[in-house]
Chains A and B, each alone.
Chain A
Amino acid sequence: MRFSYKWLQELVPELPPPSKLARILTLYLAETEVYSSRRRVILDVDLLPNRVADLSGHLGLAREIGAILGRKVSLPKVKLPPLQYGLNDFLKIKIQSPNCSLYVCSLIRGVKVKQSPLWLRKKLEDCGLRSINNIVDATNYVMLLTGQPLHAFDYDKISSPPEIIIRQARQGEKIVTLEKKAYSLDEQIMVIADAQDPIAIAGIKGGEKAEVDLHTKNIVLESANFFGPAIRRASQKLKLRTDASWRFEHSLTPELAQYGMEQLLSLITQIAGGEIITDKSWQKRTFASGFIPVKWEKWEKFLGWRLTSSEIKRYLRLLGFSIKSRKKYLLVSPPCFRNDIQIAEDVMGEVARLYGLDNIKSVPPVAPLTVPPKNELWEFKEELRNWLRGYHLEEVYNYSLISQEETKCFPSSWKKVFIEVSNPVSNRFAILRPTLLCNLLRNVAYNFNFVSEVRFFEIGKRYYRDKKYQERTVFAGVLASKEEKEKDLFYQVKGLGETLFQQWGLTREDYFQKKMEQSEYKDIFVTGVSFSSSNNEIGIVAAVPQKWLQFYDIKGSVVFWEFDLERLLALINTEREFQPLPRFPAVIRDISLFVPQGTSIERIVRTIQKAAPRYLEDVDLFDIYEEKVRETGKYSASFHLVFRSPEKTLTAAEVEAEMKKIYKALTVIKAVIR
Chain B
Amino acid sequence: MDLTKIKAQAKKEISVINNSRDLERWRVKFLGRKSALSLFFANLKNLSLIERRKQGAKANKLREFLEELYRDNKERIAQQEKEIESWDISRPGTKVPTSHLHPLTLTLREITQVFSRLGFAIVEGPEIESEYYNFDALRIPPSHPARDMWDTLWLKSVSKKGRLLLRTHTSPVQIRYMEKHQPPFRIIVPGRCFRHEATDVSHDIQFHQIEGLMVDEEVSLANFKDIIETAIRELFSQKVKIRFRPSYFPFVSPGVEVDIKIRNKKSGAQEWMEIMGAGMVHPDLFESVGYNKNLWQGFAFGVGVERIAMIKYNIPDIRLFFSSDIRFLKQF
Contacts and interface: CB of A to CB of B under 8 A. Distances in A.
Contacts of A28: 245-246
Given A302-B297, A389-B100, 16 more contacts: A28-B245, A232-B143, A233-B142, A303-B220, A357-B221, A357-B254, A364-B223, A365-B214, A372-B116, A375-B121, A392-B98, A397-B324, A400-B127, A400-B192, A401-B206, A425-B197
Interface of B: 97-102, 104-105, 109, 112, 116, 119-124, 126-128, 142-146, 148-149, 152-157, 159, 164, 166, 184, 186-187, 192, 194, 196-199, 205-206, 214, 216, 218-223, 225-227, 229-230, 243-248, 253-257, 280, 282-283, 297, 321-327, 329-330
Given A352-B254, A367-B184, A373-B121, A456 B216 contact: no
Contact of B254 (A346, A371, A455, A471): A346
Given A370-B119, A461-B127, A447 B325 contact: yes
Nearest to B197: A425
Interface in A377-401: 377-378, 382, 385-386, 388-389, 391-401
A419 B206 contact: no
A457 B324 CA distance: 10
User: Chain B's interface: helix, strand, loop or mixed, by majority?
Assistant: mixed
Interface string A419-445: 111111100010010000001001100
Contacts of A439: 324
Nearest to A372: B121
Contacts of B199: 425
A360 B155 contact: no
A392 B321 CA distance: 20
A459 B199 CA distance: 23
A119 interface: no
A368 B184 contact: yes
B143 A29 contact: no
Interface string A496-528: 000000000000000000000000000000000
Contact of A302 (B121, B220, B227, B244): B220
Interface of A: 26-31, 48-52, 228-229, 232-233, 249-250, 300-305, 343, 345-346, 348-350, 352-353, 357-358, 360-373, 375, 377-378, 382, 385-386, 388-389, 391-401, 419-425, 429, 432, 439, 442-443, 446-447, 450-451, 454-456, 460-461, 463, 469, 471
User: Chain A's interface: helix, strand, loop or mixed, by majority?
Assistant: mixed
Contacts of B243: 27, 358
A55 to B, nearest CB: 12
A404 to B, nearest CB: 13
A469 B245 contact: no
Given A349-B253, A362-B229, A398-B322, A471 B101 contact: no
B153 A30 contact: no
B91 to A, nearest CB: 23
Contacts of A300: 220
Contacts of B221: 302-304, 352, 357, 360
Given A364-B223, A372-B186, A471-B127, A425 B145 contact: no
A361 B221 CA distance: 10
A575 B198 CA distance: 49
Contacts of A228: 143, 145
B244 A357 contact: yes
A370 B225 CA distance: 21
A48 B219 contact: no
A48 B246 contact: yes
